Amino acid sequence: MAKAMKARGRLLDSRYLEFLDYLQRMGELQSITRMINCLSGQQDGDTIYSMYSFWRKGWIEVRETEKMSKTGLEKEYAVKVRLASLEEFFRQRRLSCES
Range(s) of the domain holding residue 19 = 8-93
| Residue 1 maps to a domain | no
> Is residue 75 a part of any domain in this protein?
yes
- Identity at 32, one-letter amino acid code: I
Residue 98 within any structural domain of the chain: no
pTM higher than 0.75: no
C-alpha to C-alpha distances, 51 to 9, 31, 33, 74, 90, nearest whole angstrom: 23, 12, 8, 28, 13
**Residue 99 within a domain:** no
pLDDT of residue 28: 93
9 membership: H or E segment, kind and range? strand 8-11
3-state secondary structure (DSSP) of residue 46: helix
pLDDT (average), residues 40-69: 83
pLDDT reported for residue 10: 57
- Could you give the number of structural domains in the chain? 1
